[in-house]
Amino acid sequence: MLYLLWAWLMTPGPYHSALRLGWVGLRVRESPFPLPSGREERRGQGRSCWSDRRTHNENAPSFAAGAPGPGRGPRITSQMEYFGTISIGSPPQNFTVIFDTGSSNLWVPSVYCTSPACKTHTRFQPSQSSTYSQPGQSFSIQYGTGSLSGIIGADQVSVEGLTVVGQQFGESVTEPGQTFVDAEFDGILGLGYPSLAVGGVTPVFDNMMAQNLVDLPMFSVYMSSNPEGGVGSELIFGGYDHSHFSGSLNWVPVTKQGYWQIALDNIQVGGTVMFCSEGCQAIVDTGTSLITGPSDKIKQLQNAIGAAPVDGEYAVECANLNVMPDVTFTINGVPYTLSPTAYTLLDFVDGMQFCSSGFQGLDIHPPAGPLWILGDVFIRQFYSVFDRGNNRVGLAPAVP
C-alpha cells in the first residue's frame, strides 16, 4: 500500500443493511437499497462504504504495509484516503481500517500495546469478548519504514452485516517508531490472496466465501473522486454495482496469485508508447495512493508530463493541466486513459494552488518485481472488480 502502505448488488428479499459514510466526521447516509433485480451481477450481501478524506498533513507518516517484501515509497502530502469500519468480538468493538488488496492480513492494535502509535488508536480488548480465543501464535510484519509484531487472536469479525466466525487476526503489541502514530486508521484488512498472509492465516474474504456469506466469490471497489458533493466510496462483497461505472466490465486475467497482479500491454504518454513496449506486470492495489513504477521509468514519465521535483515530491504548474499529455495504460487490449486532472492531486500550500504528480518511483526487485502499482489514482477513474472465482480483475470507467 502506498500511503504509502506495504500493506452487491442484490436480489429482492431480505438483505443486509449498508452503511455509507461521507467525509470523515460529517455525516452518515443510507445506501441506495434495494437495487434492481434480475441480473446475476446484482447479487451480493455486504456493502461497506468508506470514509473519504483528503489529507493535508505534511508530517504524516510514510510507510509500507502488507506482506513482507519490498517497501513502498514516501507518502505524498495531498491525497485521498479511504477508510471503513469493522467490528471484532462479542459485544462488537469497532475499528477503522484500510481495505487493502495489496496485503492479506487483518490486524488491529492490542490493548496490551504500549507503543505511542497504539495509544493514539482504538485497541482491541480480548477480555471483553465472549467469543475470543487465542491460538498462541505470534506474528511480525516488516514495513518499508516501520514494523509491527504481536500475537494472533481469533474472534468473529463483522463487516457491515457480514459476520465471519473464527477469523484469525493480528493483535499488534509493538508498533515501534512514528510510522503509525499519525495514521488516520487503526489497522488494515487485507484482501489479497492467501499466499500473502503472514503466519498462514486465512484472509477475511476467503472465510467469507468458505462460510457462504457472499453469493458470488468477488468484491468490488468504487472510489469517489468527489465525496463532498456526490456519491461516497463503496466496497461491495459478493458482487458489483453497475450504477458506479459506464459500459461493460473488461476482464483481465490474474497472472500471479498473491497480489492482484495483471499484465500491461504498454504505457503511452500523449499517444506514444513510452514504457512496457513488450509488456510488463502490474498490481491493482487499493492500499496504494499513487501509481508507482520503476524509478528510472517514473523519472522519464515525470519529465514527459512536465513535473519537476519540489521539496521531495514532483509537481506541475496547475495552469498547465490543459496542455499536459494524457497517460494511457493498455491492459488486455483495452486503453485506460488518465487525463492530467486525473493523475495530479490538487492541494493548497500557504494559500497557493499546488498540483502534485500522481506518479512515484518505486523499485520492486525480483523475484516479486519489477512491478507497476495501479493505486488509488487509477482506481478512482476505473471501477474495479476483484473476481476470486475466476481469478480475474474487471475494469470499467467509473461514474463520478
Active site (catalytic) residues: 100, 285
The answer to whether 144 touches 72, Cβ cutoff 8 Å, is yes
Distance CA 158, CA 89 (A): 8
SS3 134: coil
Tell me the HSE value of 160 on the side-chain side, using a 13 A CA sphere: 25
Q: What is the DSSP letter of 209?
A: H
Measure the CA angle with vertex 53, ends 345 and 23; round to 5°: 135
The long-range contacts involving 26-32, CB below 8 angstroms and separated by at least 24 positions, are 29/232, 31/234, 32/243
**What are the cell numbers at 114?**
504500549
- Please list the residues that pair with 345 across neighbouring strands: 356
CA distances from residue 366 to 59, 70, 145, 180, 363 in whole angstroms, order as listed = 32, 10, 20, 28, 10
Other beta carbons within 10 Å of 33:
12
Nearest Cα residue to 264 out of 336, 330, 360, 326 = 330
- What are the DSSP calls for 45-81, one per residue? -EEEEPEEEEE--TT---B--SSSS----PPPSSEEE
Q: What is the DSSP letter of 201?
A: P
Distance CA 149, CA 260 (A): 25
- Please list the residues that pair with 281 across neighbouring strands: 263
Measure the CA angle with vertex 282, ends 297 and 385; round to 5°: 140
- Please list the residues that pair with 384 across neighbouring strands: 221, 395
Q: What's the chain's length in residues?
A: 400
- Strand segments, DSSP code E, in 245-389 are 250-253, 256-257, 260-264, 266-269, 272-275, 280-284, 291-293, 308-310, 313-316, 327-331, 334-338, 344-349, 352-357, 359-361, 372-374, 382-387
